[in-house]
Copies of this chain bind each other. A is one copy, B any other.
């Protein structure tokens, strides 16, 4: 991987550029973004220069699509007629089934999902250590793509940047993140939304504890990111919401009974297991 092109030099794309430079990546890093973002990204040292998608398709060994999901889908379509068979194209979208399906039309596409983020978006928030200690999941119908020279180079550099590259089936990925990421997001948004309908006593909201702060942190996330996620994982999210609403409705009916006590005890066990990372043990 002598030349990497990053399409969408925002939080994820910009952070990867900074991370590679910080760890001594000797190759060229190209950026595809708006003129203003390119200017900032060059000034921050995240990329060497701005190029068009056509130029990137001609020059790059690896192209990372780090745009919003709906833009990645458009970029894949634009790349289909111009992608070289020896250029590995990968992405950083948070859902994987549709992207892997559409990417299948490219000669060499490997879906990816860096499990890292921040509340703030854009090149200004980019951080050379964003991926440190965080998994970077790859999804493809052909996992051997991670073993090609460019594939194994890319994964090697991600490891150097502190990430833990791993592999999952696209469907298994989307089903699991519906529970571990998309459902929590919607619960937090609904909590802040519901509280917003109430006239609460200012003193006590002022003094509310860390529980409310934790539970409404995700609610600060941007709709521009979430619109595409809800659009491309609707079936799994809808199912998770159904199970959740049923659970909460039963808890409401049983507020004062021992059944809710059992729910608390199972939930506490699950929460501890999530922290140990041993869900299915």
Nearest CB in chain B: distance from A185 CB, A: 7
In the complex with contacts A215-B214, A215-B215, A216-B270, A251-B190 CB distance below 8 A: yes
Which of A7-15, A55-63, A124-132, A222-230 sits within the interface? A222-230
Are A218 and B213 neighbours in the complex by a CB distance under 8 Å? no
Which of A18-26, A30-38, A102-110, A191-199 sits within the interface? A191-199
Are B247 and A166 neighbours in the complex by a CB distance under 8 Å? no
Nearest CB in chain B: distance from A168 CB, A: 6
- Residue of B with least CB distance to A254: B230
The complex places the Cα of A180 from the Cα of B261 at a distance, in Å, of: 21
A186 contacts B by Cβ under 8 Å: yes
The complex places the Cα of A196 from the Cα of B268 at a distance, in Å, of: 10
- Residue of B with least CB distance to A117: B209
Contact with B along A236-254 (1 / 0, CB 8 A): 0110111111011101100
Main secondary structure of the interface of A (DSSP, over half): helix
Q: Which of B211, B221, B243 contacts A181 (CB 8 A)?
A: B211
Contact with B along A110-135 (1 / 0, CB 8 A): 00000111000000000000000011
Q: Which of B179, B215, B242 contacts A200 (CB 8 A)?
A: B179
* Chain B residues with CB below 8 A from A221, complex form: 264, 268
Are A252 and B263 neighbours in the complex by a CB distance under 8 Å? no
Which of A70-78, A145-153, A169-177 sits within the interface? A169-177
Are A255 and B267 neighbours in the complex by a CB distance under 8 Å? no
In the complex with contacts A192-B270, A207-B135, A255-B234, A243-B200 CB distance below 8 A: no
A80 contacts B by Cβ under 8 Å: no
Nearest CB in chain B: distance from A220 CB, A: 5
The complex places the Cα of A269 from the Cα of B220 at a distance, in Å, of: 7
* Chain B residues with CB below 8 A from A261, complex form: 223, 227
Nearest CB in chain B: distance from A93 CB, A: 15
A82 contacts B by Cβ under 8 Å: no
Which of A41-49, A83-91, A154-162, A273-281 sits within the interface? A273-281
Are A115 and B185 neighbours in the complex by a CB distance under 8 Å? no
In the assembled complex, 19 residue pairs joining A and B whose CB atoms fall closer than 8 Å, in A order, are: A115-B209, A134-B207, A166-B207, A180-B205, A181-B209, A184-B212, A189-B267, A190-B248, A192-B274, A193-B263, A193-B266, A195-B274, A196-B269, A212-B274, A214-B215, A214-B218, A223-B261, A234-B256, A245-B249
Chain A interface residues toward B at CB < 8 A: 115-117, 134-135, 137, 164, 166, 168, 172-173, 175-177, 179-181, 183-209, 211-223, 226-227, 230-231, 234, 237-238, 240-245, 247-249, 251-252, 255-256, 260-261, 263-272, 274-275, 277-281
| 10 A-B pairs with least C-beta separation | A205-B279, A206-B277, A192-B267, A135-B207, A223-B264, A180-B208, A196-B270, A176-B204, A219-B271, A192-B270
